[in-house]
Amino acid sequence: MTLGVKLAWDDTVLPFQLDVSGIRGRVARLDGVLDQVLKQHAYPPVIGALVAETALLTALIGQTIKLRWKLSIQVRGKGAARLIATDYYGPQEPGEPARIRAYASFDADRLDPEAPGFGQIGEGYFAVMLDQGQGTLPYQGFTPIVGGSLSACAETYFAQSEQIPTRFALTYGQSVEPGRPVHWRAGGVMLQHMPQTGGVAAEGGSAEGGLLTHADILSGVASDDWTRANLLLDTVEEIELIGPSVTPSDLLVRLFHEEGPRVFEAQPVRFGCSCSADKVRNTMSIYSQKDIGKMTAENGMVTADCQFCGAHYELDPTTLGFEGTHGG
CATH number of the domain residue 185 falls in: 3.55.30.10
Looking at the structure, do residues 236 and 312 belong to the same domain, yes or no?
no
pLDDT attached to residue 196: 67
Looking at the structure, do residues 180 and 299 belong to the same domain, yes or no?
no
Residue 324 maps to a domain = no
Query: Which is higher by pLDDT, 318 or 46?
Result: 46
Residue 161 maps to a domain = yes
Looking at the structure, do residues 56 and 113 belong to the same domain, yes or no?
yes
Residue 3 maps to a domain = no
Q: What percent of the chain clears pLDDT 90, i.e. is strictly above it?
A: 56
- Residue ranges of alpha helices (H) inside 39-166 are 45-63, 150-157
User: What is the DSSP code string of 114-151?
Assistant: TS-SGGGT-SEEEEEEEE--TTS--EEEEEES-TTSHH
Residue 5 maps to a domain = no
Looking at the structure, do residues 285 and 265 belong to the same domain, yes or no?
no
Number of other residues whose CB lies within 10 A of the CB of residue 122: 15
Domain that holds residue 184: 12-271
pLDDT attached to residue 198: 52
Q: Which of 234, 253, 271 is the last residue of a domain?
A: 271
pLDDT attached to residue 208: 67
Q: What is the mean pLDDT of residues 117-122?
A: 97
Residue 299 maps to a domain = yes
Asked if residue 289 has pLDDT above 50, the reply is: yes
Q: What is the mean pLDDT of residues 258-276?
A: 90
CB 81 within 8 Å of CB 194 = no
pLDDT, tens digit, 9 for 90 and up, residues 205-256: 666 666 777 778 888 999 999 999 999 999 999 999 997 789 999 999 999 9
Q: What is the mean pLDDT of residues 304-321?
A: 75
Closest CA to 125 of 155, 96, 150, 162: 150
Looking at the structure, do residues 24 and 125 belong to the same domain, yes or no?
yes
pLDDT attached to residue 309: 73
Looking at the structure, do residues 82 and 159 belong to the same domain, yes or no?
yes
Residue 6 maps to a domain = no
The predicted model scores a pTM of 0.85
Looking at the structure, do residues 259 and 306 belong to the same domain, yes or no?
no
Please tell me the total count of domains within the chain.
Answer: 2
- How far is Cα 84 from Cα 106, in angstroms, rounded to an integer? 9
pLDDT, tens digit, 9 for 90 and up, residues 37-92: 998 888 999 999 999 999 999 999 999 988 788 999 999 999 999 999 999 999 88
Asked if residue 113 has pLDDT above 90, the reply is: yes
Q: What is the mean pLDDT of residues 101-105?
A: 94
Residue 7 maps to a domain = no
Looking at the structure, do residues 194 and 288 belong to the same domain, yes or no?
no
Asked if residue 312 has pLDDT above 80, the reply is: no
Looking at the structure, do residues 66 and 90 belong to the same domain, yes or no?
yes
Residue 52 maps to a domain = yes
Asked if residue 298 has pLDDT above 90, the reply is: no
Asked if residue 168 has pLDDT above 80, the reply is: yes
CB 52 within 8 Å of CB 34 = yes
322: DSSP letter? T
Closest CA to 66 of 136, 113, 9: 136
Q: Which long-range contacts (CB under 8 A, 24 or more apart) does 174-178 make?
A: 174/45, 174/48, 175/242, 177/3, 177/4, 177/244, 178/3, 178/4
